[in-house]
Amino acid sequence: MTRVALAFSGGLDTTVCVPLLEEEYGYDEVIGVTVDVGQPASEFEEAEETAEALDLDHYVVDAKAEFADLCFDSVRANATYQGYPLGTALARPVIAEAILEVAEEQDCTGIAHGCTGKGNDQLRFEAVWRDSDLEVIAPVRELGLTREWEQEYAAEKELPVEGGSGGDWSVDTNLWSRSVEGDELEDPSYVPSTEIYNWTDEPSGETEEIELSFEQGYPVAIDGEEYEPVALIEYLNELAGSYGVGRTDSMEDRMLGLKVRENYEHPAATTLLNAHEALEGLVLTQEEREFKQLIDQKWSKKGYEGLVDAPLVGALEGFIAETQQRVTGTVTIRFEGGKARPVGRDSEYAAYSAEHASFDTETVGKIAQEDATGVAKYHGFQRRLANSVTTDESEDEPEVELATDGGEE
């Protein structure tokens, strides 16, 4: 008997994949695997009900802790892509690993997903799966299916779906972010109503301040109370979301070259990233901060590609870990006007002296203010020299008189 494991959500795409894997690919049995990375309970209920209606063996894997740990790694790397925190991109390798483990435990010979050939997720899933000996199958991509065809096929087969994707939009939710795309949102000029948002309220005039604690770059406490990663993220999503924090409307460049419009909600991610960067600003030297921007950018790109286990990432994290040894302390965040703004920071490792920076002190330690005169004289010397040479050359050039007809005499 041949068996294939399917990444299963209970939506339209993965539901139509079940009979297609049997009819078109000849598999005797399909098993569904749903991985919990922080989706709402309603999605698991939908998956369970659909699997039962399809008489599908269904496995649910709890991977919230693993995903939260990766999210916190992304905080240390200040990971964003084109202005928004990585969410779906980071979840996909975690989901793929969990599905692969089930597939191998259940003696599957194939592993499948319901991604199209236009998106990023096909690449992120398969980057993990192609390390195995299992046949990798993508029915929607390989058969060139459209949403309209899938709906007609589902109706013909009397499959238990209502059109998929939870309504007009395609929504992907996990602990770290909620993405919304499709339908009218595909028009870049369309201004969406507030109904597309679920995690964030409209910003009001109300404000609130909290204190976030970090240890070696990892968030560990809120207002002095320690939290495990999953609980901390969930708490901040609710709190920061109530102040309208963490909305992004983005024209995103996908890995295949397509430009798409995405709307995101990420209250906790925005809050933690802002706080972490503020703390790094206090404790890291100028050179470390400048160079770490390059490291963070590379980490973020690999994270977006779903390649967080690449050798390069391991090397990057070596540098990140070294810098994060001093990123321990607290940051005060103020929620106001839809923003999470750092308004205070404190650390025993601060590369800062209030006494030295103060306008009320005459010296900087043993350095007198007048010692800066020589530095000021040298500052910009090459610029002045280069500009003077250029000016001299332009003055030496002969003037050219023009004839009345516009030509040179």
Residue 238 DSSP label: H
Virtual CA dihedral for 64, 68, 74, 79, nearest 10 degrees? 70
Residue 349 marked in a binding site:
no
Would residue 223 show up in a list of annotated catalytic residues for this protein? no
Residue 15 marked in a binding site:
yes
Contact between residue 266 and residue 176 where contact means Cβ atoms under 8 Å apart:
yes
Q: Closest Cα partner for 283 from 350, 352, 223, 378?
A: 350
Residue 9 marked in a binding site:
yes
Residue 182 marked in a binding site:
no
> E strands, 223-303, where?
225-226, 247-253, 259-265
Q: Which of 74, 165, 170, 177 is catalytic?
A: 170
Residue 121 marked in a binding site:
yes
Residue 20 marked in a binding site:
no
Q: Closest Cα partner for 170 from 241, 244, 88?
A: 88
Residue 120 marked in a binding site:
yes
Residue 204 marked in a binding site:
no
Q: Closest Cα partner for 90 from 118, 69, 71?
A: 71
Q: Closest Cα partner for 45 from 31, 57, 25, 60?
A: 60
Residue 116 marked in a binding site:
yes
Residue 130 marked in a binding site:
no
Q: Which of 13, 73, 172, 296 is catalytic?
A: 13
Residue 14 marked in a binding site:
yes
Taking the alpha carbons at both ends of the chain, their separation in whole angstroms is 93
Q: Which of 36, 73, 92, 178 is catalytic?
A: 92
Would residue 92 show up in a list of annotated catalytic residues for this protein? yes
Residue 8 marked in a binding site:
yes
- The length of the chain is 409
Would residue 170 show up in a list of annotated catalytic residues for this protein? yes
Contact between residue 182 and residue 168 where contact means Cβ atoms under 8 Å apart:
yes
Chain CA centroid to CA 38, Å: 15
Residue 386 marked in a binding site:
no
Residue 254 marked in a binding site:
no
**How many CB atoms lie under 10 A from the CB of residue 310?**
14
Report the C-alpha gap between 351 and 57 in whole angstroms: 57
Report the C-alpha gap between 210 and 332 in whole angstroms: 6
Residue 304 marked in a binding site:
no
Virtual CA dihedral for 178, 183, 188, 190, nearest 10 degrees? -100
> E strands, 89-155, where?
110-112, 135-137
Residue 319 marked in a binding site:
no
Residue 124 marked in a binding site:
yes
Q: Which of 121, 172, 178, 213 is catalytic?
A: 121
**Local structure of 273: helix, strand or coil:** helix
Tokens coding 285: 């030297």
Query: Which residue ranges make up the annotated binding site?
Result: 7-15, 84, 114, 116, 120-121, 124, 170, 179, 252, 264
Q: Give the residue numbers marked as catalytic.
A: 13, 92, 121, 170
Query: Which residue ranges make up the annotated binding site for L-citrulline?
Result: 84, 120, 124, 170, 179, 252, 264
Query: Which residue ranges make up the annotated binding site for ATP?
Result: 7-15, 114
Query: Which residue ranges make up the annotated binding site for L-aspartate?
Result: 116, 120-121
